[in-house]
Each structure stands twice: as C-alpha cells, then as structure tokens.
Amino acid sequence: MNISVIIPAKDEEQSIPELSQWISRVMDTHGFSYEVIFVDDGSEDGTWEEIKKVSQANSSFKGIRFNRNFGKSAALHTAFKSAMGDVVITMDSDLQDSPEEIPALYKMIRDDGFDLVSGWKKKRHDPIGKTLPSRFFNFVTRKISGINLHDFNCGLKAYKLVVVKNITVYGEMHRYIPVIAKWAGFKKIGEKVVEHHERKYGHSKFGWERFMRGFLDLLSITFIGRFAQRPMHFFGFWGFISFVAGFFFTVKILYNKIDSVFISKIPLTRDVTAQPIFYLALVAVILGTQLFLTGFIAELIARQSISKKDYLVIDKVGMEQWSPVSGFRIPAASAKS
C-alpha cells in the first residue's frame, strides 16, 4: 500500500463527506493504493455516522471511535498503530488542509528520502489572535529544538511508516512530533509550503490555554529526549553542584568556629545555628543528596520497558480487530460491530 491518510475529527460531520470525496479524487487521479483512517475523537454530533457511511461506500475508508474526547495526540497515536501505508500522511478534518498536497508530500518521502515532511501554512486564513501567538510559539520551539521549521503545529505532515511505528505521541505532544522523531533518530526532516483554506464549516477548536500546555510539553519532551535514557546525567550533575556548595559552606562554618576557639580566640558574635550560612549549608547538602537519590531511582525506572498507553476504543468500522479471547486478528468482514 502506498499511502495511509490519518484524519482526527471532532464535531466535523459537515466536512467528512466533502473531504472524503476530495481525497478519493486525488488518489484515483494519481493511481495510489491507499487507506484513510478517520479517528472520531469523542464527537457529539453526527461525525461517526458520516464516517460509517463513507466506509460503507468505499472500503479504503476506515474509522476508529473514542468513547470521549482524548485529544489530537491520542487520535494520532492510536491510528499510527494501525497504519499500513509506506507513507503516512496526517491532515485536519476541517477542509483547511488540501488533499492536493498529498502527491508532492509522498514524493518527498519516497523519492527525496525525507523521514518526515512538515507542512508550512505560509499564507494563513486565521484571525490575528491565532497567528501571532503561533509565530511566537514556533520561534521558541525552533530555538529550543534546533529544528528549522516554520510551522510545527501544521496538521498536514508526511512520514515514513517506520517513523510513526517508533514514536509515542501523548498529552499535547502532536505539535512536537518533529522533535520526538529527531530524538528517536529520524533527523532528515523537511518542510513544504502548503495551501491553507478558510474554514468552511464549524468553528475553530483553538484556545489560549493550548499555548501554556504547549510550552510545558516542549520542556517535557526536551528533557525526555535528552535524559530519558540517562537521567543520572541530569540529576547527578545538579546534585553534585548542590552537595559541593553545601560542603563548602559547612567547611567555612567549621573553620570560623575553630578559628574563634583555637586561633584568634575571638568569640563568635552569633551562635553557628543563628547564622544564615548554616541553613544554606544544610539545605544544599540535603538537596544534593535528594537529587542523587532521584537520579538513581530514575536510572532504575529507565531500565524498565515502558509500555505505550492505549486509549479506550469503543467502535471500529472497516478495520481488522483483535479478538479479546484468542488475541488473533478478526478480518474486517467478519468483525462484529
């Protein structure tokens, strides 16, 4: 199979039929073998019914339904596990991403050898309240990650299959998939200017709180990428600094006490416990010891296999399913809904 297209959807019942026809037209024109996996992320309208209709009309369209809204990262993570195409393409379901970009993205992965290609909505049809924070967000992410992309949050991306099978996306990490891929060893990351359309149906899911969560996630993914396999390098370093500082303060306190008793014989104006430096020494030594212990515990945890999180899927259509009894796959035709 040439291409797997993954489309998270939340309350997009009006867009699903038109988007499906558009994708089919592009795929048929270029002669691609393909699958399209819609992920209904807890929609409260008729999105799932539209997905089922599309799947019944065209077996290349499949669907996964969550029991509630888990977020875009959960939708991508779940669909990545099921994708089978040589090239995996993700896009939004609101008709703002154009399926006409698919052939060029496919070529960049297959012929140009990129591991990942991210879309760049150079000309955006969004309100300034969304575009300005997005530019700042992308600027900070470029500086921290060292990846020279203009639009990390663009939903239109293309990947080699091996990339999506070897990364874990959770929380709000979908916007940092290029960063996750880089830390996983997939460093040939490209960018393509893509067309961005005005929203035709529904309303934007954008919220200011996403940026705060986004920056916290950036710090998390940067730390995990650098120190997940060697946490002692982080905790041990700062533990050593803190312990040495505490040891230095302790030596100074002891020297002052010895000097006042045996050398200068000048009594201290304050007791040792009444001096701020005593508490600085105590806190620094304790903090350094705790950081060392945290590093050791983190090292033990890092050596354990980390199981990937699964999300509750309450329904599927047009896809193979796992038998809960035998553990074998049930063909889509015989799977019970």
More confident residue, 311 or 18: 18
The pLDDT of residue 263 is 78
Please state, rounded to an integer, the average pLDDT across all residues of the chain: 84
The pLDDT of residue 128 is 66
Distance CA 116, CA 176 (A): 12
Lowest-confidence pick of 220-234, 280-294, 319-333: 319-333
- CB-CB contact of 120 with 191 (8 Å): yes
The pLDDT of residue 207 is 54
Convert the pLDDT of each residue in 190-218 to its tens digit.
999 998 877 777 666 555 566 667 677 77
Mean pLDDT of 268-287: 83
- CB-CB contact of 132 with 59 (8 Å): no
The pLDDT of residue 204 is 61
Convert the pLDDT of each residue in 71-93 to its tens digit.
899 999 999 999 999 999 999 99
Residue 312 CB coordination number (10 Å):
10
Type of residue numbered 32 = F
Residues contacting 65, CB < 8 A, separation 6+: 39, 40, 48, 51, 313, 314, 315, 316
Q: Identify the residue whose tokens are 């950081």.
A: 291
More confident residue, 314 or 148: 148
pLDDT(156) > 70: yes
pLDDT(259) > 70: yes
The pLDDT of residue 334 is 47
Q: In this structure, what are the phi and psi dihedrals at residue 227, rounded to the nearest 5 degrees?
A: -125, 5
Sign of the alpha-carbon torsion through 77, 78, 81, 86: negative
The pLDDT of residue 252 is 86
The pLDDT of residue 320 is 62
The pLDDT of residue 332 is 54
Mean pLDDT of 229-245: 87
Distance CA 23, CA 277 (A): 69
Range list of H helices, 7-119: 15-30, 47-57, 72-82, 102-110
Convert the pLDDT of each residue in 45-65 to its tens digit.
999 999 999 999 999 999 999
Q: What percent of the chain has pLDDT over 70?
A: 83
Strand partners, 313: 66
- Predicted confidence band of residue 137 (pLDDT cuts 50, 70, 90): confident
- Predicted confidence band of residue 326 (pLDDT cuts 50, 70, 90): very low
The pLDDT of residue 138 is 83
The pLDDT of residue 129 is 63
pLDDT(286) > 70: yes
pLDDT(146) > 90: no
Mean pLDDT of 165-180: 86
The pLDDT of residue 308 is 46
pLDDT(154) > 80: yes
Mean pLDDT of 19-32: 96
Whole-model pTM? 0.71
The pLDDT of residue 205 is 57
